[in-house]
Structure 1
């Protein structure tokens, strides 16, 4: 990719776009999706509202670009070795309240447009996890892992469940460790159920 020449029109456009994204990120994270307006973002970025629409087309697209640019956990471990990296990422998010993530989750729960954008970002993370799982049902396992992570983070930071909100992050990680090892391994065959339906003979 060619770097725009300093002072050129292309460089000015790049700087304006970056300034808009930065202003939008601050607005979305502080006020949520619904309360953030294109006019407010434009004012914070020092540009006209029309320029925001010229670069991004809609508030939903602007929100999607903000999510793409926000720091996000990555899973790059070798197949079968992802559990430790997943848990390390989660430990960081349990220790330091993830403001950007929580804002996205709040917006996802209250607005369908925001939910679509957040779902796309979550799908990318699930795909990274699935890539490291050497099992035929890797996509299902990655979906379960993602659901566990989402539930723990939201319960600790948003719902503020007493047990999770007050728990030592290291204790939570220790409890989750066997689960994550099983889900990311290649030898966790479906368990055979011993439950009998009512009315059936032993």
Structure 2
């Protein structure tokens, strides 16, 4: 039998609480999730949740914290591939922390700040791969937020047309739009790369 330390038990309890919080925030959003509901789902006392996390806001911040995807500036072709791949991964199922953040970002200022920061870094990464002479920041912001929109429509709103289409078909139809944004046409009519 392996003895577990007090610190190990605490980490396991924190993770159980965070997992429960992610699931509830993803399902209900920030406003409709209570500390009592999180505690019940994690099978702990609500006072323990407060002891470990301090407040519902701090619990939410920890629950939605997710690593930011970074696109290396390997050029527009690589960025198109990575953006379309990112969309297909998101349509396959969002990580619970991402779903929680997306569901809450329009009603909770902190979730909105977190989303803005995460998406801002993605926009910067994409913009670094677009020729400077063609509004790289705007083009990158449009590409990244278009992916967010498709993801919201598919994962959170369950729009029938998006639900009925395969992920591969959505990616196939969406790819030319991403290419048009990331690989703007040169004055001679050819795509820049």
TM-score normalised to the size of structure 1?
0.69
Q: Partner residue of 2:101?
A: 104
Q: Higher Cα Rg: structure 1 or 2?
A: 1
Q: Structure 1, unaligned stretches of length 5 or more?
A: 1-5, 192-202
Contact 2:88 2:167 in 1 (8 A): yes
Quick one: which of 126, 129, 138 aligns to 1:129? 126
In structure 1, how many angstroms separate the alpha carbons of the residues matched to 2:28 and 2:157? Answer: 18
**Displacement of 1:123:** 3.3
Shift of 1:75: 4.2
Take 1:157 and 1:135, find their aligned partners in 2: how far apart are those partners?
32
RMSD: 3.2
| Aligned match for 2:80, one of 83, 98, 110 | 83
Q: Are residues 1:140 and 2:151 paired?
A: no
Shift in Å, 1:21: 0.9
1:74-110 CA-to-partner distances (Å, cap 9, x unmatched) read 344552112102101212333x353734443232233
Indicate whether 1:170 and 2:165 are aligned.
no
What's the secondary structure of 2:105's corresponding residue?
helix
Distance across 2 between alignment mates of 1:111 and 1:134: 33
| Matched residue count | 180
Q: Is the 8 A contact 2:23 2:100 kept in 1?
A: no
| 1:182 to partner: Cα distance | 4.0
Rate the CA distance shift 1:148–1:37 in 2: closer, same or farther, 3 A.
same
Q: Which has the higher helix share?
A: 2
Q: Which has the higher contact order (CA 8 A, sep 6+)?
A: 2
Q: Which residue of the other structure, out of 74, 83, 90, is the alignment partner of 2:69?
A: 74
Contact 1:68 1:121 in 2 (8 A): no
2:177 aligns with: 179
Match of 2:113 among 112, 116, 122: 116
In 2, are the aligned partners of 1:127 and 1:139 still within 8 Å (CA)? yes
Instruction: Please name the residue that 1:40 is paired with.
Output: 37
Is the partner of 2:69 in helix, strand or coil?
A: coil
Q: Which runs of 5+ in 2 are unaligned?
A: 188-193
In structure 2, what is the Cα distance between the partners aligned to 1:168 and 1:47? Answer: 40
